[in-house]
Amino acid sequence: MQRIGVFICWCGSNIAATVDVEKVAEVIKNEPGVVFSTNYQYMCSENGQQLIKQAIKEHNLTGIVIGACSPRMHEATFRKAAEAAGLNPYMVEVANIREHCSWIHKDMEEATEKAVILVRTAIAKVKLNAPLTAGESPVIKRALVIGGGIAGIQAALDIADAGFEVDIVEKNSTIGGRMAQIDKTFPTLDCSACILTPKMVDCAQHEKIDILSYSEIEEVKGFVGNFSVKIRRKARYVDETKCTGCKLCMEKCPSKKGLNEFNMNLNTRTAIHIPFAQAIPNVAVIDASQCLKMKTGKCGICQKFCDVGAIDFEQKDTFIDRQYGAIVVATGFKPIDLDNFNEYGYHDNKDVVTSLELERLMNAAGPTNGVLLRPSDGKHPKVITFIQCVGSRDTSGCGKPYCSKICCMYTAKHAMLIREKYPDTEVHVFYIDVRTPGKNYDEFFRRAVEQYGVDYIKGMVGKVYNENGKLMVQGSNLIDNEQITIESDLVVLAAAIEPEPSVRKIATLLTTSIDTNNFLTESHAKLCPVESPTAGVFLAGVCQGPKDILETVSQASACAAKVIGLLVKDKLKSNPCVAMPDEMMCNGCSQCANVCAYGAISYVDKEFRLGGGKTEVRRVASVNPAVCQGCGACTVTCPSGAMDLKGFSSKQIMSEVEAICKM
């Protein structure tokens, strides 16, 4: 006979304010099978757990139901408590009477009635629960970091320093990412390259780090502790092991008209190139769409001049397979396309630039060697107007609804640097709000205004148009309540940032969830901000949400700590809620194996007794519990109903349905 205990949590007033918890506990007492029912302020507290443990022992309970917050929150807590009291942890069910009841309903009677039904449903399920034991799976002591920007670099260095092997997979020919493009960093005005490149070199020299540049993730299989990843090493047409980075090929290459992506297409580069001086690996790459030899078959000059014979026009993409215990996603961001913002005249005027383009225009290694010159005529701009929130905080559908978070600070930085270097320049900034929370951030912004005399104008810009070679910025000044037009030489747009588009494919490969803005979803917004909902996959940097370098580095180190915590374990407990066939019913038809995304199902020949001393050998399905992830696809596919899922059996779900409908 089942002996069920029911524990209703108040969650302070979170549940108790709209659900009459005492009544729920009272009504449930009369349910068949229930021998104990109580309520308590905080079930998850030490005392609450003690109460559960005591009740399990005192009343000899065979199963318990906790009416509390979402099982995604505290199921593990209550399972542990049950285990400590000698009850199998899988004999615990949680009725979600907070997120799915008290928080969404206002009427007490209605919410109480619903809570009773939800608890009854959980009781119906727990009665059919079976004790389960978690299996164990080994941990491969190697981590994969996807993306070689500052997030990936930091995560890789931290993990490698703890003694674990790390591979960085970077789609570009060098690591460094966006931070390598930036001139100075706020709020210290440190030179970005000066603080980034030593870390890049550390990565290259670290014996535990393997940099796979110009590579992409092609396929991911497996699960936490045991991922199997196929990596495409794109043909760079230069032998990485031979190239010395002497750059002679770049001097000789006759095809010089390729747009320089590193300089935000503001100047050109040769077909064979190294993106920037401090590139890691310092190895050339050939742009096949631009190379004369590849396009016409005539040229090959680089090959002739390369002393070490590193050029290989015949190179093909290759694939490597590696195993990892954990994966860090650090794919970063890009500024949005400005196609939806014709009012700013970005596509029509060369002198309307984005902030990242300005960053290159001010960088000593940039197209103008660090001298701020207008792209159109190469003159010094005398009046510069910044426009903030271009596509950020935009609910019209043209841009992004979120705040890109970094623009206020980098605009203040740009304004300050320009006023510092060229004091005769007039600088205006149109803003909606200035948001500068962070250590020394607001002080930094105030310096721009008070010390450097940057003219901040509260208001939005309606139009930027060209009149006799001048850029006319037409906007409103909300403080003075007037329409103004500023005659400018250069207009800088603080374009919103969005996740690097390749993250979509990676999210699909890793089966992690992604939100409507293409940011990867963290496991819990407050308490698990670096874990993805998929075990063993961690998130660092802007792929998870807008953030500056400081936050990115913090998050990357947090990821590393989580990865190290995972990799030091020799074995992981696996989920015991896996599929299991009833061999007496299985006819070996293979349908379940066809739908299994993990290849967890194989077939074995088994001998069955037929009675009368006779036996029969039949082919039946066999599930590898270490590989099965417990989705249940096979259970529905099985035509004979032989396959079932532990913890979510057909009988359990049917009884839940019954409990809900029986009102």
Partner 1 sequence: MQDVTTEKKEFTPTIVAFCCNWCSYAGADLAGSSRLTYPANVKIIRVPCSCRVNPMFVLKAFQQGADGVILCGCHPGDCHYVTGNYYTRRRMALLYSFLNYMGIEKERTRVEWVSAAEGARFAAVMNDFVKQVTDLGENKRLTDLRVKEGE
Residue type, 147: G
Of residues 117, 155, 494, 542, which one binds partner 1 by CB under 8 A?
117
Tokens at 348, concatenated: 């029509």
Assess 17 for contact with partner 1 (CB under 8 A). Answer: no
Assess 503 for contact with partner 1 (CB under 8 A). Answer: no
HEC readout, 370-433: CCCCCCCCCCCCCEEEEEEEECCCCCCCCCCCCCCCCHHHHHHHHHHHHHHHCCCCEEEEEECC
Q: Which residues have CB under 8 Å from 256's CB, separation 6+?
A: 268, 269, 270
Distance CA 472, CA 352 (A): 11
- Confirm if 351 and 489 have CB atoms less than 8 A apart: yes
Between 617 and 663, CB nearer to partner 1: 663
Tokens at 284, concatenated: 């050339």
Assess 230 for contact with partner 1 (CB under 8 A). Answer: no
Assess 633 for contact with partner 1 (CB under 8 A). Answer: yes
Positions 152 through 181 that interact with partner 1 (CB under 8 A)? none
With contacts defined by CB under 8 A, name the span among 77-85, 352-360, 448-456, 653-661 that binds partner 1.
653-661
Between 221 and 252, CB nearer to partner 1: 221
Residue 617: exposure state from Cβ atoms within 10 A (0-12, 13-18, ≥19): exposed
With contacts defined by CB under 8 A, name the span among 346-354, 394-402, 582-590, 623-631 that binds partner 1.
623-631
Assess 630 for contact with partner 1 (CB under 8 A). Answer: yes
Assess 130 for contact with partner 1 (CB under 8 A). Answer: no
Assess 384 for contact with partner 1 (CB under 8 A). Answer: no
Assess 485 for contact with partner 1 (CB under 8 A). Answer: no
Distance CA 485, CA 473 (A): 5
Q: What's the closest the beta carbon of residue 33 comes to partner 1, in angstroms? A: 18
Assess 574 for contact with partner 1 (CB under 8 A). Answer: no
Distance CA 498, CA 543 (A): 8
Of residues 151, 507, 549, 623, which one binds partner 1 by CB under 8 A?
507
Residue type, 279: A
Q: In whole angstroms, how large is the CA radius of gyration of the chain? A: 31
Between 305 and 648, CB nearer to partner 1: 648
Assess 345 for contact with partner 1 (CB under 8 A). Answer: no
Tokens at 229, concatenated: 């990843």
Distance CA 266, CA 440 (A): 33
Tokens at 629, concatenated: 């992830």
Question: Residue count at the site for partner 1 (CB under 8 A)?
Answer: 53
Of residues 277, 478, 479, 657, which one binds partner 1 by CB under 8 A?
657
Between 245 and 647, CB nearer to partner 1: 647
Of residues 76, 104, 277, 308, which one binds partner 1 by CB under 8 A?
104
Positions 586 through 615 that interact with partner 1 (CB under 8 A)? 595, 597
Assess 106 for contact with partner 1 (CB under 8 A). Answer: yes
Of residues 9, 28, 55, 111, which one binds partner 1 by CB under 8 A?
111
Between 76 and 654, CB nearer to partner 1: 654
Q: What's the closest the beta carbon of residue 220 comes to partner 1, in angstroms? A: 10
Q: Which residues have CB under 8 Å from 283's CB, separation 6+?
A: 173, 213, 236, 238, 240, 243, 245, 274
H or E segment to which residue 9 belongs: strand 4-9
Nearest to 197 by CA among 153, 260, 244: 153
Of residues 20, 31, 113, 183, which one binds partner 1 by CB under 8 A?
113
Q: What's the closest the beta carbon of residue 643 comes to partner 1, in angstroms? A: 11
Of residues 53, 100, 234, 334, which one binds partner 1 by CB under 8 A?
100
Positions 62 through 91 that interact with partner 1 (CB under 8 A)? 70-72
Distance CA 611, CA 570 (A): 46
With contacts defined by CB under 8 A, name the span among 4-12, 29-37, 106-114, 357-365 that binds partner 1.
106-114
Angle (CA) 494 417 479, round 5°:
55
Assess 306 for contact with partner 1 (CB under 8 A). Answer: no
Give, in order, the Cα–Cα distances in Å from 553 to each of 189, 203, 530, 540: 17, 15, 12, 8
Of residues 176, 177, 459, 632, which one binds partner 1 by CB under 8 A?
632
H or E segment to which residue 219 belongs: strand 215-223
Assess 460 for contact with partner 1 (CB under 8 A). Answer: no
Of residues 96, 192, 385, 425, which one binds partner 1 by CB under 8 A?
96
Q: What are the percentages of helix, strand and coil residues in the chain, rounded to 5?
A: 30, 25, 45
DSSP secondary structure letter of residue 337: P
138: cis peptide before it, omega within 30°?
Answer: no
Assess 636 for contact with partner 1 (CB under 8 A). Answer: yes
Q: Is 343 helix (H, G, I), strand (E, B) or coil?
A: helix
Pinpoint the alpha helices (H) of 127-220. 150-161, 192-205
Tokens at 575, concatenated: 């989920």
Between 137 and 629, CB nearer to partner 1: 629
Positions 508 through 547 that interact with partner 1 (CB under 8 A)? 508, 511, 513-516, 521, 533-534
Give, in order, the Cα–Cα distances in Å from 423 to each of 111, 382, 417, 450: 66, 10, 10, 14
Assess 140 for contact with partner 1 (CB under 8 A). Answer: no
Q: What's the closest the beta carbon of residue 591 comes to partner 1, in angstroms? A: 11
Assess 377 for contact with partner 1 (CB under 8 A). Answer: no
Q: What's the closest the beta carbon of residue 249 comes to partner 1, in angstroms? A: 41
With contacts defined by CB under 8 A, name the span among 302-310, 373-381, 456-464, 650-658 that binds partner 1.
650-658
**Region of residue 357 (left: phi > 0; alpha: psi -120 to 50; beta: else):** alpha
Of residues 22, 83, 99, 239, which one binds partner 1 by CB under 8 A?
99
281: cis peptide before it, omega within 30°?
Answer: yes
Assess 23 for contact with partner 1 (CB under 8 A). Answer: no
Assess 31 for contact with partner 1 (CB under 8 A). Answer: no
Between 270 and 575, CB nearer to partner 1: 575
Binding site for partner 1 (CB under 8 A): 70-72, 96, 98-101, 103-107, 110-111, 113-114, 117-118, 121, 507-508, 511, 513-516, 521, 533-534, 577, 595, 597, 629-633, 635-637, 645, 648, 650, 653-654, 656-658, 660-663
